[in-house]
Amino acid sequence: MELENHNDTEMFQESFQPPDRELEMKNSDIWKLFKDAQRNILYLNKQRLMAMEELNKTQREKQILIDRIEKLELGKQANMQQEKPAICSELLLRIDSLVLTGMISKGEASNFRRLVTENKVGLLDAFSEIWQKRDSELLEELHLFSDESKRKAFHVIHICTEMAPVVSVGSLGSYVTGLSWALQRKGNLVEIILPKYTSLDLDQVKGLRKVEAEFYSYFNGQSHGNRIWTGVVYGIGVTLIEPIFYLGLFNREKIYGYSDDFERFTYFSRASLDYLVKSGKQPDILHIHNWETAIIGPLFWDIFVNNQGLGSTRILFTCHGFGSQCLEKPDKLALCGLDPSRLHRADRLQDNSKRHLVNILKGGIVYSNKVVMMSSIHSKSRIIRSLSHGLEPTLSIHKEKLLLAPYGLDDTVWDPSKDKHLPAKYSADDTKGKTICKVALLQQLGLSRHASSSTTVVGCIYSNFTDVDIENLKSAFRLASRRGAQFIFMGTSKVESVNTALELFKKEIKVNTLLYFGYNS
């Protein structure tokens, strides 16, 4: 009996053991399957991420290729436009080198320049790889190139302190480059003379070359040596003047803003004229800019015109604003060879208010054949009356030679049909993308809550201008606001009082209606 009970108990226990082991085995199999599935999912996710990364990489490479193709197409178009003027400029600069090294006379140089400028059509066929040729080889080719052209072109030389993109601080640099390029594309010969600042972006200069001969210029009672560098920027011939003894004049961090700016730019102005004489250049027009090269006016008419074969040359003076005039003691004029007693007169350089000083900007106005005032919104009479900064008597006397020119822009740079930074592209023929750009602009400036895609947006842009007409600005803003338009102002002024007035005006109105901040491209 006990044996039977014992056997039954063992059988009972054994009957429950297999199911436990079976369940454990099943759980183990399920967990293994789960782990395998998890590994497969992780592997698939990893493969998917790798595929997405590869796809993104392919898309990036595709976009890079598209960008390169567009760049090559634009470069090809630009090269086609610049090739002729570039060849012309390179030849003329090499002619300068030939005369400075004594291989040809001034008369021969003048004839060669005329030959080049009057026969631009055949230059591409007659000359190639100019920079790789020795002076003797090039001279031989110039002698062979003797066809006469029927077309007469103007020879314009800018003597200035800025040229974009080599050196540009404000609006002057882009103005000089844009104007020079436009004139040269119309068949005129344009050259630019600049100081050789240490801060120049020389990567922008094609075929930069140091002339193996020095020339001397007058300053402070002595003749001083200068090095000449030549190159081409956007197809425009560029000459860089580097003082040797006065090397520190342009070996500085900034372009402007030093206590000896008068001495710096007076040295450069006199050296530029001495260089023209040394190289035998006889331009039709000398184009000077702002007070920094305004001293060239009196230098040219008092010293150079009668003795150096420049009798047919005329002076064009462009002034980007009358706020910066450079007042100095009359005796300082003698540094560049001028006679202070001759010029310190009311009808010449004497300042209209501080009569014990001379006004260099005034000298540029008095001694130039034509004076261009840059303004897109003011009339000639308003500039003379309200924005002349004490020069009203001088401008009134010389009113007949004053010209007004609006500011422009380089449409090869600022073109909404090609600009990759815009959220949508548009043009005069297809303006659909303009609304998208307008909405994006309002959102970026935090003004979208107060405007919609149908809101008219009035933009007012000042790029480092000297004069901002606050009253006209207020009137324009009020008119725009009354008509439900959004008004955006961007810019700053070199005159601190104007900046203060702008800040006060900003506080008078709703901040979300008008936005004012520094210039930003």
Q: What is the DSSP string of 289-308?
A: ETGGGTTHHHHIIIIITTTS
* Predicted local confidence at residue 12, as pLDDT: 45
* Predicted local confidence at residue 3, as pLDDT: 45
Distance CA 90, CA 129 (A): 10
Q: Are 383 and 373 in contact (CB under 8 A)?
A: yes
Distance CA 141, CA 129 (A): 12
Q: Which residues of 44-71 are buried (b: 16+ CB within 10 A; e: fewer)?
A: eeeeeeeeeeeeeeeeeeeeeeeeeeee
* Predicted local confidence at residue 80, as pLDDT: 44
Residue 490 host element (H or E): strand 486-490
* Predicted local confidence at residue 8, as pLDDT: 52
Give the amino acid at 323. Answer: G
Q: What are phi and psi of 331, to 5 degrees?
A: -60, -25
Distance CA 147, CA 132 (A): 24
Cis preceding linkage at 406, omega within 30: no
Which residues does 424 contact at the CB level (< 8 Å), separation at least 6? 432, 433, 434, 436, 437
* Predicted local confidence at residue 470, as pLDDT: 72
Closest by CA position to 235, among listed 186, 169, 301? 186
Distance CA 465, CA 319 (A): 12
Q: Please list the residues that pair with 320 across neighbouring strands.
A: none
* Predicted local confidence at residue 85, as pLDDT: 66
CB atoms within 10 A of CB 388: 19
Distance CA 71, CA 494 (A): 36
* Predicted local confidence at residue 321, as pLDDT: 86
Distance CA 190, CA 209 (A): 19
* Predicted local confidence at residue 62, as pLDDT: 65
* Predicted local confidence at residue 291, as pLDDT: 97
- Chunked into runs of 10 residues, the chain (521 residues) has average pLDDT values of 49 50 66 74 78 75 67 53 69 90 90 79 65 84 63 86 92 92 87 97 96 95 97 96 96 94 98 96 96 98 86 95 93 98 97 97 98 86 87 95 85 82 89 88 76 77 62 79 79 66 74 56 61
* Predicted local confidence at residue 148, as pLDDT: 43
Q: Considering the entire predicted model, what is its pTM?
A: 0.68
* Residue matched to tokens 């008092």: 302
Q: Are 209 and 231 in contact (CB under 8 A)?
A: yes
Q: Are 425 and 419 in contact (CB under 8 A)?
A: yes
